[in-house]
A and B are shown apart, each in its own frame.
Chain A
Amino acid sequence: MKLLEISNLVVYYSTLQSLVKAVDNISLEVNRGEAVAIVGESGSGKTTLALSIPRLLPDNARILSGSIQLHPEKIDLTKLSEKELRKIRGGRIGMIFQDPMTYLNPVMKVGDQIAESIVHHQNCSLKEARKKSIELLEKLKVPDADNVASRYPHQLSGGMKQRVMISIAISCNPELLIADEPTTALDVTVQAEVLELLKNLIRELKTALILVTHDLGIVAETCDRVAIMYAGKIVELADIYSLYKDPKHPYTIGLLNAVPTIKESQSRIHIMTGSIPDLTNPPPGCRFHPRCPYMFEKCMREEPPLINFNKNRYVACWLME
């Protein structure tokens, strides 16, 4: 059953000199209870894509065209009034951000930051909301939750703060959680813990998850499907199993090769040469062609469409033709 349907979304940033095409004609569907990863390098547009769903983009961003429909009502989030959208933000869509240090208000007690959302969406008293926020923290295995709720962010560790962030996001039982690099700012050991919590949580609450990350390692443990983004486009979309077993797009292959493993006795990590193109002026044809080892003449001329070639597998590459 469909929950979210993004169709032909185009998001531009306007800077003083030029337009940056951060998200260029992207379509993606997310089903109820499904966990979808959006993977890409910095600058690939993955965060822009995620933030455009609840329309939390910076002031200089414009959703130029396309639609983002929330099912079953098929409300188009890109056309909704701010007032209507506020019921959905925090209520039906919860957000988890990258750095819990900067994304939590430094002068508010963390318990109050969780309770605020509950009071706003569920119309209950502050006292009830505070009680609920402590329960949420307990659910996220925060020791001594009662005490933690009355602390300020700077008094908590990174892992604890991210649990607070997650509590805020799930406080009103959203149908969709959007997590933008939720573990990037954390220590490796804490990363695993937080990821495990997140995974169990979405199973338990039957919440859909959009996980934005550059780390293919954490995707395998958490998600059902993966969308690989490159320079504002989805280049490959597949279920997790097929993607790891049989990656199709040269970029995906490159990414997977760049993940270090301890099983193979490789002394070197394969690196991809080059970097993401300038999005104010992307290369013609396939945007990956300047870095692609299999590039041929057509790649420079024509842009490959996202082709469905096997059940739920999509690839945008002329090699697949």
Chain B
Amino acid sequence: MSPLISFIIKKLVQYIPMMFAVIIITFILVNMAPGDPTFILVGEVGDEEFVRAARARLGLDKPLHERFLIYVSNVLKGDLGYSYLRSEPVAKLIIDRIPATLLLVLTAMFFSALVGIIIGTIAAAKRGVLDISLSTFSLVGISIPYFWLGQIILVIFAVKLGLFPLGGMVTVGRNYQGIDHILDVIYHLVLPVMTLAIFNLAYTTKITRGSVLEALTQDYIVTARSKGLPESKVIFKHALRNALIPVVTYTGFNTGVLLIGAILTETIFAWPGMGSLLYDSIRLRDYPVILGVFIYGSIIIIIANLIVDILYGLLDPRIRVR
């Protein structure tokens, strides 16, 4: 077996207890939260007998620990249950929505990492006024909450200027095909990605700047300069490559933050992803869907961390998997 595959398997095994912890904690938290899905289904003034029948149908009449055991055993069989309200399997609901969320999150991640690394490196290399203004920008970017930023962006670019659509993923009723469809999705993607990426972009800038500054004090930078290399090569080839490890770590860790950001962003822009599904499900107390989204979210975060671990080795031969 190749060392990479055995490394991945080893890591995955380590993640099993973490998955269990995620299931236990979210199950308890979701059930502790106020509200009762039955009332949403039958209304608050329903007939008592009717309410009891509805509770039994949803399995909510059993005590918490029993419901937990039933849920876990079903999850282990690969069954995430049925949505209370949409009468569709939870897994299908989520899987239908995953591509939209991944498109949004990965685009935001790629864009913010790329631009953040470039801006951060320039800030570290130039210092002075440029550095101060870029650092100020990143501080502002880190401090703005998604829900506010999203609405402001929506008001400015969609409502006032009319440059971009108000929401959704495709123009309703046009049924574009092929390249037109792709362009239409990109057109709808711009504002949500902007909203989601700004925090990440600002943070990546900050981390890259610090990390490059640190790398520039290292001895091998003097060697690179002693070769007569131009400063751009010293910075981008020698300092940045060594500075990227903390940036990659952050980007991996931040998958979770981005997924949470996606909930708010998708809700604001009516983006048909997991985030808006979760928002609706929380509002309507659709327990199985909430739990399912958390489980899928954790899996996405685990995969992201795995990718980070593999990237480490590519960036730094000293920690390459053997």
A154-198: which have CB < 8 Å to B? 154-155, 165, 168-169
Given contacts A91-B228, A117-B228, 15 further A-B contacts (CB under 8 A): A86-B228, A86-B230, A87-B228, A89-B228, A95-B226, A103-B219, A103-B220, A103-B222, A104-B223, A105-B224, A106-B242, A107-B241, A117-B227, A152-B317, A154-B318
Which residues of the other chain, B, contact A95 by a CB distance below 8 angstroms?
223, 226
Q: Could you tell me the distance between the alpha carbons of A245 and B225 in the complex, rounded to whole angstroms?
A: 40
Which residues of the other chain, B, contact A102 by a CB distance below 8 angstroms?
218-220
Q: Total contacts A to B, CB within 8 angstroms?
A: 75
Give which listed residue, A85, A86, A88, A152, contacts B318 with CB less than 8 A. Answer: A152
Which residues of the other chain, B, contact A99 by a CB distance below 8 angstroms?
219
Interface contact B223-A103, CB-CB below 8 Å = yes
Interface contact A97-B223, CB-CB below 8 Å = yes
Which residues of the other chain, B, contact A107 by a CB distance below 8 angstroms?
241-242, 315-318
Q: Could you tell me the distance between the alpha carbons of A103 and B226 in the complex, rounded to whole angstroms?
A: 11
Closest chain-A Cβ to B199's Cβ sits at a distance in Å of: 29
Considering the complex, give the chain A residue whose CB is closest to the CB of B238: A105
Q: Could you tell me the distance between the alpha carbons of A86 and B224 in the complex, rounded to whole angstroms?
A: 11
A116 CB within 8 Å of chain B: yes
A206 CB within 8 Å of chain B: no
Closest chain-A Cβ to B259's Cβ sits at a distance in Å of: 31
A56 CB within 8 Å of chain B: yes
B140 CB within 8 Å of chain A: no
Which residues of the other chain, B, contact A85 by a CB distance below 8 angstroms?
228
Q: How large is the interface on A (under 10, 10 to 19, 20 to 34, 35 or more residues)?
A: 20 to 34
A121 CB within 8 Å of chain B: yes
Q: Could you tell me the distance between the alpha carbons of A108 and B220 in the complex, rounded to whole angstroms?
A: 11
Most chain A CB neighbours (cut-off 10 Å) among B219, B220, B223, B242: B223
Which residues of the other chain, B, contact A104 by a CB distance below 8 angstroms?
220, 223
Interface contact A54-B227, CB-CB below 8 Å = no
Q: Could you tell me the distance between the alpha carbons of A257 and B124 in the complex, rounded to whole angstroms?
A: 49
A120 CB within 8 Å of chain B: yes
A106-B242, A106-B318 given as contacts; is B222 within 8 A of A56 (CB)?
A: yes
A107-B242, A107-B316, A154-B317 given as contacts; is B220 within 8 A of A116 (CB)?
A: no
4 A-B pairs with the lowest CB-CB distances in the bound complex, closest first: A90-B228, A89-B228, A95-B226, A90-B227
Q: How large is the interface on B (under 10, 10 to 19, 20 to 34, 35 or more residues)?
A: 20 to 34
Closest chain-A Cβ to B257's Cβ sits at a distance in Å of: 28
Closest chain-A Cβ to B242's Cβ sits at a distance in Å of: 6
Interface contact A89-B226, CB-CB below 8 Å = yes
- Binding site secondary structure of chain B: helix
Which residues of the other chain, A, contact B223 by a CB distance below 8 angstroms?
95, 97, 103-105, 113, 165, 168
Interface contact B219-A168, CB-CB below 8 Å = no
B229 CB within 8 Å of chain A: yes
Interface contact B226-A90, CB-CB below 8 Å = yes
Interface contact B228-A106, CB-CB below 8 Å = no
Give which listed residue, A54, A86, A105, contacts B220 with CB less than 8 A. Answer: A105
Which residues of the other chain, A, contact B230 by a CB distance below 8 angstroms?
86
Which residues of the other chain, B, contact A116 by a CB distance below 8 angstroms?
227, 229
Considering the complex, give the chain A residue whose CB is closest to the CB of B226: A95
B264-322: which have CB < 8 Å to A? 315-318
B180-228: which have CB < 8 Å to A? 218-220, 222-228
Closest chain-B Cβ to A40's Cβ sits at a distance in Å of: 20
List 21 A-B pairs, Cβ < 8 Å.
A56-B226, A85-B228, A88-B228, A89-B225, A89-B227, A90-B227, A90-B228, A95-B223, A97-B222, A97-B223, A99-B219, A105-B238, A106-B220, A107-B318, A113-B223, A117-B229, A120-B228, A121-B228, A152-B318, A154-B318, A165-B223
Interface contact B242-A86, CB-CB below 8 Å = no
B30-74: which have CB < 8 Å to A? none
Most chain A CB neighbours (cut-off 10 Å) among B222, B226, B231, B238: B226
Q: Could you tell me the distance between the alpha carbons of A103 and B224 in the complex, rounded to whole angstroms?
A: 9
Which residues of the other chain, A, contact B225 by a CB distance below 8 angstroms?
56, 89
Which residues of the other chain, B, contact A152 by a CB distance below 8 angstroms?
317-318
Considering the complex, give the chain B residue whose CB is closest to the CB of A102: B219
Q: Could you tell me the distance between the alpha carbons of A95 and B222 in the complex, rounded to whole angstroms?
A: 10
Which residues of the other chain, A, contact B316 by a CB distance below 8 angstroms?
106-107
Q: Could you tell me the distance between the alpha carbons of A77 and B251 in the complex, rounded to whole angstroms?
A: 44
Q: Could you tell me the distance between the alpha carbons of A88 and B229 in the complex, rounded to whole angstroms?
A: 11
Closest chain-B Cβ to A37's Cβ sits at a distance in Å of: 20
Q: Could you tell me the distance between the alpha carbons of A117 and B238 in the complex, rounded to whole angstroms?
A: 13
Q: Could you tell me the distance between the alpha carbons of A169 and B229 in the complex, rounded to whole angstroms?
A: 13
Q: Could you tell me the distance between the alpha carbons of A104 and B223 in the complex, rounded to whole angstroms?
A: 7
Q: Could you tell me the distance between the alpha carbons of A95 and B228 in the complex, rounded to whole angstroms?
A: 11
Closest chain-B Cβ to A123's Cβ sits at a distance in Å of: 13
Chain A 106-128: CB-based contact to B (< 8 A → 1; otherwise 0): 11100001001100110000000
Which residues of the other chain, A, contact B317 by a CB distance below 8 angstroms?
106-107, 152, 154-155
Q: Could you tell me the distance between the alpha carbons of A45 and B137 in the complex, rounded to whole angstroms?
A: 42
Q: Could you tell me the distance between the alpha carbons of A259 and B226 in the complex, rounded to whole angstroms?
A: 32
Which residues of the other chain, A, contact B222 by a CB distance below 8 angstroms?
56, 97, 103
Which residues of the other chain, A, contact B226 by a CB distance below 8 angstroms?
54, 56, 89-90, 94-95, 97, 169
